[in-house]
Amino acid sequence: MLSTITEKCTIIKSSYYAGEIEKARSIIRDKKDAPILAAVMTTRHDYFVSGDKDFVELDLPTHITARKLVDIIEKE
């Protein structure tokens, strides 16, 4: 299962999303999570997997769907 998930993951260089960090800070409660949200905001994806409730419970921009890993595993 984990190999299936990691095969679909992408590493994103910070230079790619650096311009979105300030916007992300204005959206997310925990400011240390802003770089993660900025990376998510600048990529195309089916969904964003996180166990952090700030992402899962946050009113994210419409193109971002946050999912808990446990929810994905339960559906497989």
- pLDDT of res. 2: 65
- pLDDT of res. 49: 81
- Count up the domains in the chain and report the number: 1
Range of the domain at 69: 2-75
Q: For residue 66, what are the β-bridge partners?
A: 48
pTM of the prediction?
Answer: 0.72
- pLDDT of res. 24: 93
- pLDDT of res. 65: 75
- pLDDT of res. 66: 76
Tell me how far CA of residue 33 lies from CA of 4, 67, 68, 75, in angstroms: 26, 16, 16, 27
Mean pLDDT of all residues in the chain? Answer: 81
* Closest among 72, 74, 75 to 9, alpha carbons compared: 72
- pLDDT of res. 70: 76
d(CA 57, CA 26): 16
